[in-house]
Structure formats: structure tokens, C-alpha cells
Amino acid sequence: MKSTTAYSVTILVWGLIPLLNAQSFRRDTDTIVMGAGYVQQVYYQLSSGRQEPALRCGWHLAFEVPIRGAAIRANHACGVVVYKTTRDTTQWAQLSVADTLHPLYDDLCYWQKGAFNITAGPSAFDVGWGIYNLQDHVVRGDSLYIIRIGSTFKKLWIQRLQGTDYFIRIANPDNTQDTAYAVNKSLASGKNFIYLNLLTHQVLDLEPTPQNWDLLFTQYVRFISPPNQPNVSVPYNLVGILMNLDVRAARVRLTSQANPDTLTVGAYPLDSCISVIGDDWKRFVNGSWSLADTLYFLVRDKAGAMWRIRFIGFEGSATGKVYLEKAQLTPATYFPTSKNKGEVVIYPQPAREGIYLILPKVQSIRGELLTLTGRLLLSFEAGDAEQLFLPRPEGLVEGVYLVRLSSAGYGWVQKVIFE
């Protein structure tokens, strides 16, 4: 074996070189179980296969937990409808079901746009249900709502968000059972949302910590067009998948003859819309469920690893089971050495002939391949390219190495394995 020496190389922009022979990725399967009637919503982690179920209809409203968050979402799939009304907060006693306007629904692209946030105006201080005060940092509610829970109507006022407390007031339309109380964010510290049952006033901590889940298997409401009525949209309950914050995905539809192991990760831009995976990977045809077996999803999980997933089975409401095939394409080994501007993806892992690098959008990146002890093996300049190929240096022995990149005060270090 030749000794390994330092090299200075010119990097070729990805796309101007032929692809290496396709690598075969290990495929695993998981069965996600929501239960009969989709009684559970399931938080799922790709890397471990961990599932953490929570009662899907045990809550009515979800309140955003992070300190600057003021989103409030509704559990539409469990019969919760939020109505905007014509009354202002001085008319609480007069508010009735007759004052309702159109219903409001959660946005399916952004967790931060719940039903109560949809009506926000152009001002950065308008959160929809209230206005943020820059002096005392309190969001004060300026809207009244009618909430329908199945056949039960309630009137609701989100009075304010002060510190870690959402203060709310709820009553029957005839002003009986008029109650005011607080929902404290700190009861679910570190989570995305804390949940409330409006009928029992119970505050619920349902989510795992954000680092422990990537996908939420649940039922939600999406607007669809009935058959032969393309210009009509109606709310409809659907079973699908929503993504955690910072998880990204791309939809890839292949031909039946294509080899999914030849997918080039960087060729498909990743989307942050939480319903990219969504619900249309399955269809109900002639009394049974049919799956789009050539539809794949590239998913970058919470830890930064890249996955390819495909749905291979769905049993519907009888069991609520979803069968998923997954293959890990890149590892979750990302170690910033200074302030970060974007992320770096390196694959395949382990590598043989060379590695592909997906780089952040910065200029004049300089790179180095190092041993774990810091000895320089190879240096290169990437210019302003975003997708590059680095061939394996001649004589490089099997083992774990470091790729170090730098650009204008930003730095990245990531492990790479050669076999």
C-alpha cells in the first residue's frame, strides 16, 4: 500500500462527472400503529424507529411553547371548529353563536400559523388573535371566537400571553360556566406545543422532546375538491404525516424500472412545509387502499441525517397501521467549529471511490481532508460551487477521517468513513 501524502486538487462541479456505481443502501421497515379509528397520534423517530403515541382526540387547542411563540392550533380532525366573530372584546357578554363569521383552519405548511393566527395583518406585531406590545412584551387579545366541539358551542377569548402564561376566558353562549384560567408554557418546557382540553380545562404535555421525533402520524383537516366539482373546496379529515420543526423533505416519483439507490440527494431541493409527505401516498380504490409504490421521500431528520422512505402498506381505520420502508443515505455527524451559516451534507457513508459534498450557499470555500489527529492529507478549494465531488486520494487506507471547510469566518467539520 502506498503511503498517504498531502494533495492539492481541483474539485469538479457535480454534474460534470459521471456518477459512481450505485451504492446499495440497507433497507429497514417499521410499522407505525395509530390503533383502530386512528385513536392515537404517533410521534416517530427515523433513526431509532421509536414511537411515542398520544391520545389524538384528548385535546382541543395547542399553544406554542417557545418563548417568542404565540401560535394557537385547533384539533379540527376531532370535531373542533373555530369561528371568527363580529364582536370585539368589550362585547363579551353579548357574544353569541349568531355572531359567527367564517370558520378558521390551521395552516398545513407552518406550525406557527394556527387557526387563531390566520387572520394576522401585515404588522409584525399582529399575531391574529392579539397584538404584541413592544414596551411590556405582552400579547393582548383583541378578538372573540366561537368554538364548536362536536355539537357543543363555547365562546372563547384569548385574553393575553404574558411571560409563560396564556390567559384565556371561556363560557357557554348563555354566559354560564364563565371561567378564566392560565395555560402555562413551562409545563411543557422545551416542547413545540402544550395542549388544552377545553371541556375539562386539563392542560396536557403530549409531545416527546423535539430531538426525539421527526414525523407525526395523525389525522388532520385538508381542503379537497369533491369528484366532478373542481372549483369547490371542502374540509375533509385525512390521515397523513406532518414533519417536526427543522425536518426537511422532497418528493421523488420514479419509474417502475428505476433503482432508488441511484437517487442523487442534492438533485432534489428539500422543503420545510410540514405536510410535504402529507397524505396522498395512498388512495382508496374499489374498496381497498392502494399505495403509490414508486413515490419516495427524501427526508433530512432532526439530527441532520438523510433518509429515503417509501410507504409499503396501510390498513386504514381497522388497525391504523402504516408500513414504512427506510434507508439511511447520510449520517448525522455534523460538528460546527465556529458560527454556522448553513449545513454540509457528505455522502455516501462509508465511502469507497470518493465523496459527494452538498455545501452551504457561501463563496470561496476552502477544504481539507484530515486524519483524526489533525494531520493534513489533502487540501482543496471549492469556489462558490454548491454541489461537489471529491475523489479518494490515492493510497488512502480504510478508516475515519475529517473534512474541514471554512469560508469568511464560518467553519464546518464532519467525519467521513472510507472503506
pTM of the model: 0.75
Q: pLDDT above 90 covers what percent of the chain?
A: 61
Count CB atoms within 10 A of the CB of residue 324.
23
Could you give all domains of the chain from N- to C-terminal order, each with its CATH number? 7-21+348-418 (2.60.40), 28-53+212-330 (no CATH), 60-205 (no CATH)
More confident site: 334 or 215: 215
Specify the pLDDT at position 362.
66
Specify the pLDDT at position 333.
42
Specify the pLDDT at position 326.
96
Count CB atoms within 10 A of the CB of residue 202.
11
Helix ranges (DSSP H) in 46-148: none
Taking only the tens place, the pLDDT of each residue in 178-190 is: 999 999 999 999 9
CA-based torsion, 352, 310, 332, 109: positive or negative:
positive
pLDDT of 14 above 70: no
| Residue 98 cell numbers, joined | 349568531
More confident site: 5 or 263: 263
Question: Which amino acid makes up residue 328?
Answer: Q
Find out whether 358 and 387 touch, Cβ atoms under 8 Å: yes
Question: What mean pLDDT do residues 337-357 have?
Answer: 68
CA dihedral in degrees (36, 72, 67, 276; nearest 10)? 60
Taking only the tens place, the pLDDT of each residue in 29-88 is: 999 999 999 999 999 999 999 999 999 999 999 999 998 899 999 999 999 999 999 999
DSSP readout, 6-69? -EEEEPEETTSSPPPPPPPPP-EEEEEE--GGG-EEEEE-TTT--EEEEETTS-SEEEE-STT-
DSSP annotation of 77 reads G
Beta-carbon contacts of residue 411 (< 8 Å; ≥ 6 apart): 336, 337, 338, 404, 405
Specify the pLDDT at position 409.
63
